[in-house]
Structure 1
Amino acid sequence: MGYPMARNLRSKLPAEDSFTVYDVNAAATEEFRNELKGFEVEVAKDVKAVVEKSDTIITMLPEPVHVSSLFKSLVASPPSSNGTKKLFIDSSTIDVETSLSTNTLVSSCAELNATFVDAPVSGGVVGASAGTLAFLLGSPQERVEEVSKILSLMGSRILHCGPPGAGLAAKLANNYLLAISNIGVAEAMNLGIKLGLDRQVLKNVINVSSGRCWSSEVNNPVDNEIKGFEGGFGVALMKKDLVLARAAAKQAGVKLELDEKAEQVYQDALGKEGNKDFSVVYKVLKESSK
């Protein structure tokens, strides 16, 4: 996700703006710099160097522990702010509690001189590449316009969901639904094809009928099967989001009926197919129906 987001951001920023990237995967950052040879791109040696060189820092990390440890390290050894107010936009999908505690940590560090907002994304790798992501923003009202201008370079919809933490609350609710609908589409496609329907005919029927959803229209497993379910939103990340949604539901006193079963489906897919696009559950279901 971060790679195509950064590509859109760099290509749409004014040419004179400085742009610094860092990733633990050095090959990815080198590939990024080579791809954007016509633009100014600096690869930093670590995150602290990114912060020192930037007024706005966008983070996209896999797990809550990564976000927490990163910002704890920055607070423990603050990079120079050079007297400028810094803005951290975290687009990771993590739990609300970790995000809010990180917000408090950043705000309490005078040396960082920074504001922290949560802005998880919806739209997958396809949306990241096309620059059509939806950003679900949790931010103080007075920072919304500023943050939205930046995010609009990577997405087509900026949805202010409320104060800090609200963006993640919306993201977890959305991804819980996505996890369920993806399984539903996979089961429906498998059922229809087993009943003798042509797969493309069935897909077309669903997408002009009441079953239509993102998983049927944009990320249909029939299409992804042709590509070997490569790329896209990984099974492991979807399983992680289900765990986060369950924790959030427990904290809020909300009962979820399908979370445990859905998690088991993704766990089975992960074990049998590895961390491919999460629509690979279709292949697992199809093979178990033989």
Structure 2
Amino acid sequence: MSVSPALSLPLRRVPVTRTLPSAVRLSRFHPRAFSTSVQRDATWGFIGLGQMGYNMAKNLRAKIPATDTLMIRDVNEDASKRFVKEIQEIARSSGSEPDSLKVVIAENARDLAEQSTVVVTSLPEPEHVKDVFHSILRQGELPALEQERLFIDTSTIDPASSKELANAIHTTRQGRFVDAPMSGGVVGATAGTLSFMFGASSQTGQLVERVRSVLMLMGKKAWHMGPPGTGVSGKLANNYILAINNIATAEAMNLGIRWGLDPKTLAEMVNTSTGRCWPMEINNPVPGVVETAPASRGYAGGFGVSLMNKDLRLALSAAKDSGTPMALGDIARSVYNTVEEEHRGKDFSVVYKWLQDKSEAK
């Protein structure tokens, strides 16, 4: 089998997890006819149980039929074990047997892909996504299933890498690869209200509807942006705006407060005026203005500054590749580089605290 150059990277050694004794072991997948609807006794795969993926997988397990099996895989063994335990507790609380909601910890990504008709990946960086798909494809052709195997990557990576992965899957006829990054953060992943933007061939209308039906199990909106690669392109465009708006919101709030304005009054005014934006209304960076925002709990949780910095880096790299000027990009990148160094692990709205500290130092 020939593999795209994008997948020829050396595979990192990944620790092997063992299936918990209490988890239900999976029988081989029983082939069924193609359908865009959720079918019974299906096998679903989910790779990547980070802050986003963990909650997305929980919603997936909750929404698929109880008789279906969810296979999970993460390099963090504790995350996988915690997931199984949590699903078992959910089953108990509903009066069912602990193993009534079938969850299996896969030995590796290849084993998961062999047995799943739908494989969802949620991983941090392009190299992690490439490593996973390399480990799936390097062992040759996957077992044929009556229903076409569907790979949905919800990671935010660069468009070029995503297109190369799609090409590797499609040219070797291993299934369909769809790029489907999301917006909504950890709060949206937990509540199942994420908005997905996905890239998939529209030559077969059934594919688009099948993808949308899967994504709606984890979110509330699913936008078909165009052919492969357009999902991540749309996401990076959106997050470029978010990165700039977040800095502008932090600067404006810091300025207004230093002028003597009440922060809540200022925010309420802006949110009914032309400056209204998500960082001001929902994720306000000033502690106490929005009680549910990360700023009101020490900038914990939310969308990490490192992730925002990564998305901005990917957006600027893709813009450079396409010869597109970005007047504010380098300035914003400099800000996030510094803030990440000083406040690593915090929500990206911590830019406000960084500005506040700079103001007080003068």
Q: What TM-score comes out, normalization by structure 2 length? A: 0.77
Q: Give the letter aligned to residue 71 of structure 2.
A: T
Unaligned runs of 5+ residues in structure 2 are 1-51, 92-100, 287-292
Could you list the runs of 5+ residues in structure 1 that have no partner in the other structure? none
Does residue 227 (structure 1) correspond to residue 297 (structure 2)? The answer is: yes
Asked whether the 8 Å contact 1:60–1:90 carries over to 2, the reply is: yes
Matched residue, 1:280: 350
> What does residue 22 of structure 1 align with?
73
Is contact 1:75-1:109 (8 Å) kept?
Answer: no
User: Partners of 1:243 and 1:152 in 2: how far apart?
Assistant: 29
**Deviation by residue 1:8-38 (Cα, 9 ceiling, x = unmatched):** 1110111111101111111112221111111
Deviations along 1:55-113, one digit per CA (max 9) or x if unpaired, are: 10000111111112221221111474243421000011111110111111111224xx3
Alpha-carbon separation, structure 1, partners of 2:85 and 2:271? 39
Number of corresponding residues? 288
- Aligned match for 1:126, one of 163, 187, 209: 187
Q: Does 1:47 align with 2:117?
A: no
For 2:86 and 2:277, the matched residues in 1 are separated by 34
CA distance in 2, matches of 1:137, 1:51: 21
Matches of 1:233 and 1:27 in 2, distance apart? Answer: 22
Distance 1:81 1:279 in 2: 46
Q: Which residue identity lines up with residue 103 of structure 2 in the other structure?
A: V
Measure the CA separation in 2 of the matches of 1:218 and 1:40: 36
Check conservation: 1:176, 1:245, Cα contact below 8 A: yes
2:48 corresponds in structure 1 to none
**Deviation (angstroms), 1:53:** 2.2
Larger CA Rg, structure 1 vs 2:
2
Write the distance in 2 (CA, Å) between the matches of 1:73 and 1:30. Answer: 22
Name the SS for the 1:212 alignment partner.
coil
Distance, in Å, in 2 between the alignment partners of 1:283 and 1:78 is 51
More helix by share: 1
Task: State which of 249, 267, 278 in structure 2 corresponds to 1:185.
Answer: 249
Q: TM-score, normalised by structure 1?
A: 0.95
1:72 maps to 2:142: no
**3-state secondary structure, aligned to 1:150:** helix
Q: In structure 1, what is the equivalent of residue 58 of structure 2?
A: 7
Distance in 2 (alpha carbons) for counterparts of 1:168 and 1:251? 15
Instruction: Kindly indicate whether the alpha-carbon contact (under 8 Å) linking 1:48 and 1:79 is maintained by their aligned counterparts in 2.
Output: no
Per the TM alignment, residue 137 of structure 1 is displaced from its structure 2 partner at its CA by: 0.8
The percent identity for this pair of structures is: 47
